[in-house]
Structure formats: C-alpha cells, structure tokens
Amino acid sequence: MRGQQLLHDAPRALAFLVSQQAFIEPTVYRTQYPAIRYQRLIPVDTAAPEWIPAVTYFSMDQVGAARWVTGNAQDVPRADVKRNIFETTVSMAGIGYGYDLEELGKAQLLGMSLDADKAAAARQASEEFIDKTALFGDTAKGYDGLVNNPAVTAGSAPPTGAAGSTQFKDKTAEQVTADVNGAITGVFVGSNTVELADTLLLPYQIMIDLSIRRIDPMSQMTVLDWIRRNNIFTMETGQPLDIIGVRGLETAGAGGTARLMAYRRDPTVLKLWLPMPFRFFPAWQTGPWRFDVPGAFRFGGTDIRRPGACRYLDGL
C-alpha cells in the first residue's frame, strides 16, 4: 500500500517541481557572480544560432605601399587585401540539479516553496567552467585560453632588478613601469603601430604588492599609482589603463613563472563565442523517486583574432 502511495505521489511531485521551477529560474538568472571574470576580460558574442556546430570568421590585413611615380609610369603600385579564414568548433557542456520524492513531498506537505540554492549552484558551476576555459583553454577540446595562447608573443622580463632579478618585487617603481610600458609598446610595434593595449592583467599577489608599496618612504603614491599615471597608453590617449588582477597568472608563464598580459580589449581583437548561454531545460523524472532539472550551455572558447594586439611578459 505504501509503495502504491509513493507511485501515486510521483506525478504530483513532478508537477510541483515544474511549477516551482518557473519561479526559481528568473531568480537564478538575476543573480550576479562577482568572482567570474571572463565577461569583463573578453568580449562575448552570443549572436550565432544556439545549435551551430562551428563558427567561421575571417581576418583581414591590408598590404601595399605608395611610392613616387612619373606621369608615364607603367608600374603603379597596387594595394591589396589578404584574408584568412578560421573556424572554431562549438561544444556543449551541462550541469543541473535535482530532488528526491521525500524532499518534494515535505515541501508540499508544509506548503513551502523550493529554494533556489540548488539551481544557483548549478549556474555558478557553469559560469566557473566557462571562466576557466575562456582564460586557460582546454587541451581535450583544442581550445586555447586568453592567457596561454601560443599565437601571442611571450617575452621575458629584463633582469634589471636587484642582483639581476627579473621579478617585480626586486625592482623599483621606474623599473616596473618600464617593463609594463615595454609590453604595451611591444603591442604597438608588433602590430605595425596599429594597436595600443588598453588592458593590463597582473597576478593577484603582484598587484597587491604594487598597490601597497610606495615609490619612496616619503610619498603617499604607490607603485600601482605610478604605473596608472605613467604608462604609454594613458600618456598617448589620456584614458586610464585598465589594470585587473587575475588568478592563475602566478604560474602561467614559461617555466611556471608569473605572467602579465597587455592587450587591446576589443571584439575585433578577441572574442568568446557563446551561442547558447546557460539555461535550464524542463524537469523530468529520472528514477522511481528522483527528479532532475538539466542545464546546458554551448560555447567555442576564446579566439584571439589579432595576436599582434596582445603581449605576454614572463618571469615577474
């Protein structure tokens, strides 16, 4: 008799879960996740159709130079455009949440609404997965990350610190600023003076150190303040350089050393393809007394379309 009652309760429990899901999902989608960084660091493109298997895009470069000619010249120089085609596969990942019959039965009996904690945990996990892949890539999928893309030029910090050290902790404010400006200038020169980096990513510990270390004992200005005022981007454009601390950069450089990244944060330079942002699908019964709400998302990793607009500096 008890077993028959449980079987009778299962459809009612599923109906209750479906009705609750309608209230849970809007709450979860409104939740902000301050620890997630990819949306701040990388332009995100959600315009492609949700189920597209790959995204194809083109890069373009202009070639040709003018020169002196005469009025009867037969060999006028020509400009041309070089186009390269690239394709990024889009893959699917998922995570969801669920309840058993007892949990749903108690909520119904007591007239309680299901809380959004489980759904929020699922969405947080999806955001963390995208964040990690966008920044550091996924070798199994063949995705490169923002901070470890082999197409981006990686330089080594010069040994200008105390006792020939390359690390920022052993360098003066002027030496640290020179290294930062070297990375920004490297972008400018490497892109044939087209690109100028507007964003600087630093390992958290180094950023903290620079934010509390004064340029001299008598000054209130920190080394980080000095960099903000005296970097090439700010001096050239009058705009502030965006300096952001990123977890994982402590060992992202060659030989497991600390790495900084200078780049122009623009969708023409780099982009994260996200055709299907995370969403929940209809609840369903997955066992005699088990009910699940699956969630899924589809994305294609981080494409650095113009590597010349980015630069790494290792050995900090």
**Structure tokens that stand for 165 in this block:** 């050290």
Of the chain, the percentage scoring pLDDT greater than 70 comes to 91
Q: Average pLDDT in the 103-108 region? A: 84
* Lowest model confidence (mean pLDDT) among 59-73, 225-239, 254-268: 59-73
Does residue 6 surpass a pLDDT of 50? no
Taking Cα atoms as reference points, which of 144, 132, 87 lies closest to residue 307? Answer: 144
The string of pLDDT tens digits covering residues 149-201 is 999 999 999 999 999 999 999 998 889 989 999 998 888 887 777 788 999 99
Per the CB < 8 A criterion, the answer to whether 250 and 258 are in contact is yes
Per the CB < 8 A criterion, the answer to whether 272 and 38 are in contact is yes
**Amino acid in the structure at residue 192:** N
DSSP string, 27-55: HHHH---TT--HHHHS-EE--S-TT-SEE
Cα–Cα separations (whole angstroms), residue 227 to 171, 200, 243: 13, 11, 9
Per the CB < 8 A criterion, the answer to whether 25 and 280 are in contact is yes
Q: What pLDDT was estimated at residue 31?
A: 73
The string of pLDDT tens digits covering residues 188-247 is 887 777 788 999 999 999 999 999 988 877 778 888 998 899 888 998 889 999 999 998
Integer Cα distance of 155 and 238 in angstroms: 27
Q: Which residues pair with 259 in a beta bridge?
A: 314
Residues 244-254 as b/e (b if ≥16 CB within 10 A, e otherwise) read ebbebbbebbe
The string of pLDDT tens digits covering residues 124-145 is 999 999 999 999 999 999 899 9
> With bands split at pLDDT 50, 70 and 90, how would you rate the model's confidence at 62?
low
What domains, with CATH codes, occur in the chain?
Answer: 153-271+304-314 (3.30.2320)
| Better pLDDT: 194 or 96 | 96
Burial of 68 from C-beta contacts in 10 A (0-12 / 13-18 / 19+): exposed
Q: What is the pTM of this model?
A: 0.84
| Better pLDDT: 37 or 190 | 37
